[in-house]
Each structure stands twice: as C-alpha cells, then as structure tokens.
Chains A and B, each alone.
Chain A
Amino acid sequence: MLRPATEAELSEIVGEAAATGGRLAIRGGGSKIEIGAPEENVRALEMRGFDGVVDYDPPELVLTVRAGTRLAEVQALVAGQNQMLAFEPFDHGPIFGRPAGDATIGGVVAANVSGSQRISSGALRDHLLGVRAVSGRGELFVSGAKVVKNVTGYDLPKLLAGSWGRLAALTEVTLKVLPAPRMAVTCVLRGLAPEAAVQAMAAAMGSQAEVAAAAHRPMPEPMTLFRLQGFNASVTARMQALERRLAPFGQLQRAAEAEALWEELRSLAPLPVDVPLWRVSVPPAAGGGLGRTLQALGAEWLLDWAGGLAWISMADGAAVRQAAAAAGGHAMLLRGPAALRAVVPAFHPQASALAALEGRVRKAFDPAGVFETGRF
C-alpha cells in the first residue's frame, strides 16, 4: 500500500508508475470499492494522508479541503456554520452493508455523488470550483479557483468530477457551499401509479413551490415525497401552493419521520441486497414508464430526482440497459457479485465516436494508463 503524505511524494509515486508500467488504484475511504470490476495487478494508492481543511470563510461560500478528509467531517464543519453542501452528497457505505463514515470528500468528488437535492440545486460537478491534482504523468496541476465565479481556462474540475479516479489523483478540492435552509418539511402523496407519480412530480417541479427534492417509492404502499425548505413564511406559503397544485393527484399530507424516509432512499434500504442493483439516469418524465416496464419483468425500484434517477434491482442487466437506452438514458451497475462485475461493465457502453473521444481525453491526463486499473 502506497500512502503519500505530500504532493511531491504523490508525484514521485505516479511518475515512477508511469515510467515502469505500474497500475495505481486510488483509494479514499473505500466506501465505493465494490463498484466496478475487481482489480488485478494494481497497487493501492491511499489518499487519506491528504487530510484537513485548508480554507473556509463562510460568507465567501467557498470551502477548500484536502481530498482525503472524511465527508462526515466536512458536513459537520459546514453545518456548524449553518451552511450545507447543496448537492447533498452521501456515503455509499450503507448501500454495501457497512456503516457510514468512511467516505472521503475526494471519493465523493471522483464519483460526482449527488443526492436528492440534485434536481433543484445541481450536482456535485456544479459546486466544484477548483482542484489540485496529480495527473497520470505525475505532474501536479491546478484548475479552477477558490472563487465562486470564474471562466479562466477550461473547466477541468468538471471532467474530474465523476472521473472515478481515471484521470488524476485529487489532493485538494474547492467547493461552493450554500446557506442551510432554516426549515424543511416533507409532504407526501399516497397511492399513485408510476406514471401518475412522475406527472405529479413534474407538476410540482414546474410550479412556483420551489420543491427541493421529489422522490417516489412504489412499494409496499406507493408514496411520492416532496421536500420544501427555506425561510419559514416562504415554506408555509409554498406548501399551500403545492397542495393546490397537486390536488388533482390526491391529498398532500405532511409526512412524519421525514428524515427517515429520505435516509431510506439514500441507503436504498427498501431494495433487496441479493439482486444486482442498477443506477439508471433518464429524462425525468420517463422514470415512471421505466419503473413499470421493468417491474413487469420482476424488478423492484425507487425513483429520485423527480423521476430522473431510478434505482433498479434486477438480475437481467441487458433488460435494464435496453430500457434505459430506450428512455434516452443510461444504466450503471452499482452493486452485484464480483463474478458479475467481472464480466458486465459498470458504465453503460457509449457510441463509438464518443467512446473514442473520451479515450483521447483520458490519455490527455494519463497517457501511460497508470490509473486504468480495469475497474471500468
């Protein structure tokens, strides 16, 4: 196990691997280690040595933190200043049956982890302002900056968000933070069929109610959730507006135990653990039809992002990928036995011209393939 403590050490390690044909698997907290194909002939590059807050001035809405810092620490830090990471990142540990707490901010950035609020506030990639990283050449580079508005040069942070460790090893990230809402309430509609649930969520998102998050679980009893948050008088007014807007779909009720409902969505607790799990991203309006189609083939499922994100439990991966593509989206294999992950690629296959361009971009960061571990 390699465990650099400085950027200079990291550069040296990566540079040497590039020169000698080595393969390095970048590790944060290991919370997502069971995603992708099992790796062979790689050395783990442990990033937890890059730990701690570099700069945080709450009124500037900018937080700079070393990549190995634990997500939970970052969230506690900003919560202490009544702020939040508005993309609502979460720890993948519980999805894999482990306690939360190991995920690092670098891993969260590398996987572009964005929770239920993504539909209203944007994804992690929308809040990543700057990075320091060591490329597959072993070169330290900086891109972006520590201010909220910047168009100087290419936006390489966006490429690194969701690159799953295939372009560079992040050492430091700068994130936009936002004020935490003063209050949040969750309302629920019960008993909706999949298509109706998606229509209700579209109506809500298209209204002036400023819905922060909208999700649907079809089982055991269909529940469609809407989260409203912000200033007190505003939330009350918007809740009334939403109730009127959604009256054609049923009686909107305030949910008790709201946080537990959202937590179940984050950890995907309602879905079986012994069936392959797929993360399917589609145009939101297509989410209900996708759920119904795959349910008829035996799938269990949940919808987030007002229908734009479907979590599908289903053994027949070909059917999932076919349905995702037909709906204009893509399917990622998130959880499954190692033998399955060894033969089914985690990412949805792309059109050949796009795949070729993506391959050239990967080589632009990592010409020797130091970070190409066979995982993806």
Chain B
Amino acid sequence: MRRALLLLVPLALFGLASRFAGFEVRPRGSSELDVSTGVYTLPSGGTITDNRSGLVLEARYIQYKEGEFIRAQGATLRSREGDFSASSLEYLQKPDTLRLNGVRFSSKEIRGLSAQQGLLLKEDVLVLKGEVRSSEPYLEASVVVVDTSQNLALVLGNFSFRDGATTLRGNRPDSTLLLSFAEGRVRASTRVPVEILNRLRPYADRL
C-alpha cells in the first residue's frame, strides 16, 4: 500500500507542463504559419523544449499558437522524472489545462501506467479515466483523481491494487478509495469524507 504514494510521481511531471509559457521550437521538416489565425503547423512534427524546466515535447504532428495552445499527436514528454506519451495531447494556456488521450507513463519508480484519457488542471489536479492501469505497482481502476496540493488520490469505481503478497480490491462500480499521503505514510480509507468527495468527484466528470 505504501507504493500507492507513487501515484503522485506522474503528477509532479505534469505540474511542469504549465511552464510551456516560453518555449523553443525545432521543427522536423517544414513549419507552416497560417497568418490569418497565427497558428503554426509542424506536419512532420518536431520538438518543443521548455528551457527553464527541461521539459521536452516530441511529436509526429504539432500545432501551436503562442500564448494560447499546443496540440500534438504521437507525443512524448521527457523529463528527469520519466517519460510520458500520449496518442494525442492538447495544452491550453487559458485556462491552464492539459488534456490527453491514450496516456502512458514510465519511470524508475512506476512502470506501464496507462489510461484512456488524462486531464491536468491548473489547480494541480490530475484525472486519469478509463482502464487506468500500471504494471509496477499493479493497479487497475476506472477513475483516479489526484490532488497534489492536498496529497490526496481518490479512486472511483472497481479497482484492484496489488502490493507484494496482498491485493486490495473494490468490487462495486460505486467503490471509493481515498489515499492520503503524509509524513511518508499512506493512509487508505473507503469512507471518503463528504467534502472531499464532493470536491474531487466533479473533476472525473470533466473527462
């Protein structure tokens, strides 16, 4: 169960995403500018680097408009914490959100984390939805909402979490599990305080 703490690792990575305010672009091939909209298109993809955070976005196809959005397909985000990929990605600067499809993440600590959809919000909340899985530690869930500001993770729906010889399962579609991290320890409870449930559950509906 202590390894549930690792759920916060990818969020630390996503937190860097909001720094794509000033970035450097290297097209792989041509770069096309639509002067009427100010949107750049990199049809052969390329690399976008945030020099302050060291975050690097590589993609097979990129569209972006400075100060507004970045859209990418076949995207990979590289950072010191690990590699993250998505079949498609959309970063909006206002509001500061990162929306992902076909999410995959791997690092030294956590392997093979994947979800059908991901959403990172300005308020440091990450939502993973649809066949959320990781192979090490082993996790299967329908929805995970992670709130790094409060060191909380809310698991909704059927879930299965294996740690060593023990496997914890929520067997009902309305199962809830709140993981909280404090002082290097993880606490898990299926009795989720109403105020936390009411605050975090709506994030799941935004995907």
- Asked whether A and B interact, the reply is no
Chain B contact residues, CB within 8 Å of chain A: none
